[in-house]
Amino acid sequence: MSLLTPMPTGTDLRAEIERLRKERNAVILAHYYQKPELQDLADFVGDSLELSRKAADTDAEVIAFCGVKFMAETAKILSPDKIVVLPDMEAGCSLEDSCPPEKFAAFRAQHPDHIALTYINCSTEVKALSDIIVTSSSAETILSQIPRDQPVIFGPDRHLGGYLNRKFDREMLLWPGVCIVHEAFSERELLKLKEQHPDAPVAAHPECPPHIVDHADIVGSTSAILQYAKTFAGDTLIVATEPHIIHQMQKALPHKNFIGAPGADGNCNCNICPYMALNNLEKLYLCLRDLTPRVEIEEGLRIKAKRSLDRMLDMASGTIGLGDLGRVGVPLP
Ligand code: 13P
Ligand code: SF4
């Protein structure tokens, strides 16, 4: 049974969140897949890379992370002195679930000459076992800095890894995880939609399987898709990623038509991320009021995980190459 005080009836959630944000010196970060009401009151809305950068840079004492657990953990890894709260600690990710640290460690041990390039959608333990973290917006920049003869393990998203393999003509070994949200788009329904809107381009996230990505005019991270939506010439765009991002598109271009790509039943709403959807205004208010649920990470583990995240932040901004990895492929201490 929860010992926390319940929310008094009649609470004006927005006003209370505003008051607590100031009182706690808190910053509210939100991912594009969050409910519109959370995006609208966040101090910053972004993709995984942008949110990591914000979390590393903020002066706030509290980070309230409207996103999923691995994102809030990334904030804590980068800003250990700050209190990091997540409205709902059950907000996980199918990619993280697909990659238990013990199995990932065993996989690495089978391939000692490979470096581990790992998607940020994983646990802190898996980050600690990895050499370089990537997000969907930093993966291409980082992979292009890794010599072609360097063997690479890529996990946990096999679709993002496969997309990178095809685009860069690489043969990275892929961990077999998938995002249940992007996996759910239907090629048959997408083709029907394209027939109804023959001039509409398709924007797809690289977490989509190849049978969706192959029909896309642009493939990119949430921020890349949003940028495309703000600049494409037509009237209608088909969006093959979690549909809450359409909120930002519609705000920027209210006169244009943004259509979520459909799932197998032809209803685009089946692609809402069930983990992201756990957060809401009431839980945000409660986590700011009670400063719980709070992300805590054991210091030794945090330091190991930070190494691979720092490499990403440095390599993504081009400040280092692979220098500090030495001869790539030598397992890191
Ligand atoms: P990006 O916002 O970095 O593109 O990531 C998408 C995603 O699935 C986050 O869980
Ligand atoms: Fe994980 Fe997919 Fe949800 Fe992103 S959209 S949090 S990858 S399950």
Question: pTM for the whole thing?
Answer: 0.93
- The pLDDT assigned to 6 comes to 73
d(CA 173, CA 116): 9
- The pLDDT assigned to 332 comes to 41
- The pLDDT assigned to 14 comes to 96
CATH number of the domain at 13-92+277-290, please? 3.40.50.10800
Cα(5) to ligand 2 centroid in Å equals: 31
- The pLDDT assigned to 64 comes to 97
- The pLDDT assigned to 319 comes to 56
Query: Strand 152-155 and strand 202-204: pairing?
Result: unpaired
For atom 6 of ligand 2, the residue with the nearest CA is: 93
- The pLDDT assigned to 31 comes to 98
What topology is assigned to 95-178+299-324 in CATH?
Rossmann fold (3.40.50)
- The pLDDT assigned to 264 comes to 84
Cα(167) to ligand 1 centroid in Å equals: 19
For atom 2 of ligand 2, the residue with the nearest CA is: 179
**CB of 288 closer than 8 Å to CB of 62:** yes
Low-confidence ranges of the chain (pLDDT < 70): 1-4, 267-269, 318-333
Cα(220) to ligand 1 centroid in Å equals: 10
Tell me which ligand sits closest to the C-alpha of residue 157: 2
Which residues of the chain form CATH 3.40.50.10800? 13-92+277-290, 95-178+299-324, 185-270
- The pLDDT assigned to 333 comes to 36
For atom 3 of ligand 2, the residue with the nearest CA is: 273
For ligand 1, is residue 207 a contact (CB within 6 Å)?
A: yes
CATH number of the domain at 185-270, please? 3.40.50.10800
**CB of 127 closer than 8 Å to CB of 118:** yes
Count of CB atoms situated within 10 Å of the CB of 96: 23
